[in-house]
Amino acid sequence: MGKGRRPEAELVAIRARIETLLLSGLRAPEIHRALTGPENPAPIELSERQVRAHIAAVVRGWTERADRSTLEADRGRAIAQAEETIRVAASRSALNARSNVGVGYLNAALKAQDQLARLRGLYAPVQAELSGPAGAPLGVTVTLADHPAEHLERAEEARRFRQLAIDLEAEDASEAADQGSEPS
């Protein structure tokens, strides 16, 4: 194919093929191989980078289609389908009550009821409260880390403090000398 932008109809067809492959669980390198490889009866000439760009466009399209009103319509459709599934499965279960087929329909009805409850938001989050024995508040034990300085002899600790004081005085003297030598 020559250089330039593909016709819009061709882009739509490519993105439809990419969307199908994407929904089947393939990633960009696998989609590229499926579209351009020798096993494809009609291979397409495009790079893996272009496949990634098409994937991004497909995902953007999904996002645009999933606006609030569409989601509410989809939810309503799913609720209606779940209710219809419950109705049909329950009636078929009753008709086949004396066989394993009836049990299968009953399981389908129960799963549809569970899905319906989820779609309607009937499963409220469960609140769990933690408490101690007999409902008392939880006790928190804090253990401080053991530091080696806590195990020094008094004489060693005094020597370290004297050395720290000498070091701090030397730092102060050095800073004072640096400030005095700078031009004002």
In a domain, 100, yes or no: yes
Q: Provide the pLDDT for residue 92.
A: 93
On the 0-12 / 13-18 / 19+ scale of CB atoms within 10 A, 102 is middle
In a domain, 76, yes or no: yes
Of 84, 146, 151, the closest CA to residue 115 belongs to 84
- pLDDT above 70 (res 10): yes
Shared-domain flag, residues 46 and 80: no
Structure tokens at 9: 């109809």
- pTM value > 0.75: no
Shared-domain flag, residues 32 and 57: yes
pLDDT confidence bin for 181, thresholds 50/70/90: low
Query: What are the tens digits of pLDDT across the range 83-114?
Result: 999 999 999 999 998 989 999 999 999 999 99
Distance CA(37)–CA(33), nearest Å, equals 5
In a domain, 48, yes or no: yes
- pLDDT above 90 (res 167): yes
In a domain, 88, yes or no: yes
Q: Provide the pLDDT for residue 124.
A: 74
Neighbours of 104 (CB within 10 A): 14
- pLDDT above 80 (res 49): yes
Q: List the Cα angle 106/111/115 in 5-degree steps.
A: 145
Q: Quote the domain boundaries for residue 98.
A: 69-119
- Of 65, 83, 110, which residue is a domain's last? 65
Distance CA(129)–CA(127), nearest Å, equals 7
Shared-domain flag, residues 13 and 53: yes
Higher-pLDDT residue of 142 and 168 is: 168
Query: What are the tens digits of pLDDT across the range 31-47?
Result: 999 999 888 888 888 99
In a domain, 78, yes or no: yes
- Of 42, 65, 88, which residue is a domain's last? 65
- pLDDT above 60 (res 183): no
Task: Give the pLDDT mean for 51-72.
Answer: 84
Neighbours of 79 (CB within 10 A): 14
In a domain, 129, yes or no: no
In a domain, 36, yes or no: yes
Task: Give the pLDDT mean for 72-79.
Answer: 86
Shared-domain flag, residues 82 and 50: no
- Of 40, 65, 90, which residue is a domain's last? 65
| Percent of the chain whose predicted confidence (pLDDT) is above 90 | 45
In Å, what is the CA distance from 63 to each residue of 56, 68, 148?
Answer: 11, 11, 59
In a domain, 128, yes or no: no
Task: Give the pLDDT mean for 17-29.
Answer: 90
Total domains in the fold of the chain: 2
Shared-domain flag, residues 58 and 82: no
Q: Positive or negative CA dihedral for 107, 109, 115, 121?
A: negative
